[in-house]
């Protein structure tokens, strides 16, 4: 990715609708310092956003809900920022960074829900909707035409140990003559030589593996959104 010569870094949170600029003192600090600064500035907004989505979390804390930072590379993949990274170093890689409240130790619906909420916060994915209104942890759905103008419905729901295992993806009508789909469900491949799978690689490296999956599906199958 091309380096940026910017002397500031834009900090954006789509979930609570904020936009800040890391300049002067913050540019000399690490992202764990930025996290402290953002929590102090937006404590009420972050806590309120979390309370609306996490039924078992009445009083979110910084320890239970640290902020996550990531940026998009040229392919649109989300790359996580380690809290110990210097702000100035990341600013040379990207002019802006997204930050998100996240939950440590949450269940699979909470993990999936946080990832799903991040996707639906982007205007370009306006065709995606929650299966259960205001309950992102139960799954998301999109409807649109494919390149053959067939109207398809994609439904993505979490598995019981998401994100350790990939979510369930269903297409209606089913895809035929495609080895990636079996009986209407997306079939995930594994590595035959070294073990593991592409999903596990993405889940370890990506800030939001669900987002990466949606991007890959849209690029490969061109569902209209």
Question: How many beta carbons lie within 10 A of that of residue 198, not counting itself?
Answer: 14
Domain 108-221 falls under CATH 3.10.110: yes
- Distance (Å, rounded) from C-alpha 107 to C-alpha 42? 25
Instruction: Enter the CATH code of domain 9-101.
Output: 3.10.20.90
pLDDT of residue 57: 46
* Residue 82: strand pairing partners: none
- Report the SS3 class of residue 112: helix
User: Please, which pLDDT band fits residue 201 given cuts at 50, 70 and 90?
Assistant: confident
User: Please, which pLDDT band fits residue 3 given cuts at 50, 70 and 90?
Assistant: very low
DSSP 68: E
> Which residue would you say has higher pLDDT here, 60 or 23?
23
Structure-derived torsion over alpha carbons of residues 43, 208, 123, 139, reported in degrees to the nearest 10: -100
- Report the SS3 class of residue 72: strand
> Which residue would you say has higher pLDDT here, 43 or 78?
43
User: Please, which pLDDT band fits residue 211 given cuts at 50, 70 and 90?
Assistant: very high
pLDDT, one tens digit per residue, over 24-50 is: 788 989 999 999 999 999 999 988 877
- The residues spanned by each domain of the chain are 9-101, 108-221
């Amino acid at each position: 990715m091309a380096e940026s010569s910017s002397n500031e870094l834009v900090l954006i949170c789509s979930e609570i609708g904020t936009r800040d600029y890391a300049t002067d003192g913050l540019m000399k600090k690490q992202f764990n310092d930025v996290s402290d600064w953002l929590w102090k500035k937006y404590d009420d907004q972050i806590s309120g956003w979390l309370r609306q989505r996490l039924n078992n979390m009445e009083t979110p804390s910084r320890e239970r809900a640290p902020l996550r930072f990531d940026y998009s590379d040229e392919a649109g993949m989300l790359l996580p920022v380690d809290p110990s990274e210097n702000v100035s170093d990341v600013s040379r890689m990207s002019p802006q960074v997204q930050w998100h409240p996240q939950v440590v130790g949450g269940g699979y619906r909470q993990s999936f829900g946080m990832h799903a909420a991040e996707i639906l916060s982007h205007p370009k994915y306006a065709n995606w909707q929650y299966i259960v209104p205001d309950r992102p942890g139960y799954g998301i759905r999109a409807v649109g035409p494919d390149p053959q103008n067939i109207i398809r419905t994609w439904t993505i729901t979490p598995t019981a140990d998401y994100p350790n295992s990939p979510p369930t993806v269903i297409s209606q009508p089913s895809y035929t003559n495609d080895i990636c789909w079996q009986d209407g469900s997306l079939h995930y491949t594994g590595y035959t030589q070294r073990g593991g799978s592409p999903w596990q690689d993405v889940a370890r490296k990506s800030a939001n593996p669900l987002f990466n999956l949606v991007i890959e599906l849209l690029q490969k199958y061109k569902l209209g959104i």
